[in-house]
Every structure is written in structure tokens, then in C-alpha cells.
Amino acid sequence: MNRRRMHTTISLLLGGWLLGTIVVGFVAAENFWIIDRLLASEAHPAFERGIAALDAQTAAGEGRTLLRYLSSEMNRLYFRAWGGCEALLALALVLLAFGIRDKRLRIGFSVMLALVAVTELFLMPRIVEVGRALDFVPRSPAPPALATFGMLHAAYSALDLIKLLVGFSMAWLLLRPASSAERDS
């Protein structure tokens, strides 16, 4: 593959990765926010009747709990699928970066691959385990595992933010005008 085509391929893969990361984060947050918006608004009459009937059968308002459980399971699926995609993208970018002379790209993509490995191999399995243990546990008083989940989630979010920052710096390296030495090579 010639240098220009490789540069274009790397740019497209990186752009897709950065956009995917942002979209998955937005969708995951929105999955939870929409539950409270639906319950607070005048939603579809059949939805309102179903939630009212469910809540009438239980003392704790199980409608919201079941919807949050569904949202949690959807988010677990999305993050696992996206984690696999990230691993493939990172590996492809590291390999492709060896075709470009800029060592900073190889280092940056390797850092991103390492961050994906940490989040997917260590944090995500623990987040899923602790999250599932909390799915139907009352929140008042706050269960001790909630603090653990919060720390795991914060660590994942911090690493994801670092990964995004590294990715945007790699995009900047790819998009900046080439120096005369790079053009001549």
C-alpha cells in the first residue's frame, strides 16, 4: 500500500474510532436518562397503563427498576461489542502505523491499544459483575458495592477520556501539513 493510501486508511479508521467512542458514550448515558423522562412525561397511554399496573402490583415501583435493568443490559451489550471493535481498530492502526515513518503514531496507537486492553480485560468484566449484583438492590441506604461500581466506572471513564485525547492528538498528527522532509521521503 502506498504511503498516501495508508495515511488515508489510518485517518478513516481513527475517525471512525473517535466518532464511535463518542456515540457509544452518548447512547449509554441516554439509555438511562430516557427512563426518567418517560416516567415523568405523558408517554404513550399503553406504556403508562403498563407501568401503573406493574407499580400497583409491587410496593417498590418495579417499573422503573425493570426499565433500568433493561437499559443496563443494553449498555453492557453495547460496551462489549464496542470494546471488541476498539481492539480490532487499535490493532489495525498499530500495524498500519508501521508503514508510516512517524514514530509518534506508532507510540500513540500502541498506547490506545494498551488502554483498550486494560478496559476490556480488567475493568469491563468487573463493572459487569458488580453492576449485575446491584441491578435489583434497593439504593436507600446505598449498598457498599455502589461505591465500588462508582470507582470502576470512574476509572473506565477516565481511561476512555485519555484514549480520546490520545486519539485526537493522533488525528492532529495525521492532519497537520507534512514537513518538507516527510514529503521528500
Give tens-digit pLDDT for 63-85. 788 888 999 999 999 999 999 99
> Is residue 105 within 8 Å of 97, Cβ to Cβ?
yes
Domain total for the chain? 1
What's the average model confidence in pLDDT over 97-102? 88
pTM summary value:
0.86
Which domain range does residue 164 map to? 3-176
Of 43-52, 114-123, 124-133, the range with the lowest mean pLDDT is 43-52
Residue 184 is assigned to a structural domain of this protein = no
What SS3 string covers 37-80?
HHHHCCCCHHHHHHHHHHHHHCCCCHHHHHHHHHHHHHHHHHHH
Please compute the mean of the pLDDT values over residues 87-112 and round it to a whole number: 95
Please report whether residue 70 resides in a domain.
yes
- Distance CA(76)–CA(74), nearest Å, equals 5
Sign of torsion, CA 15 18 20 26?
A: negative
DSSP class of residue 135? T
**Residue 126: inside a domain:** yes
Nearest to 32 by CA among 157, 144, 135, 123: 135
Kindly tell me if the per-residue pLDDT of 134 is higher than 60.
Answer: yes
Spatial distance between the Cα atoms of 96 and 89, rounded to a whole number of angstroms: 10
Q: Fill in the amino acid letter for 94.
A: V
pLDDT score of 184 more than 60: no
Query: CA-CA distance, 179 to 181, in Å (whole number)?
Result: 5
Q: Which residue has the higher pLDDT, 183 or 135?
A: 135
Q: Could you tell me if residue 94 is inside a domain?
A: yes
Rounded Cα–Cα distance for residues 114 and 90 (Å): 9
pLDDT higher for 2 or 12? 12
Cell numbers describing residue 75: 449498555
Does 182 fall in a domain?
no
Given a cut of 90, is residue 91 above it in pLDDT?
yes
Question: Does some domain include residue 136?
Answer: yes
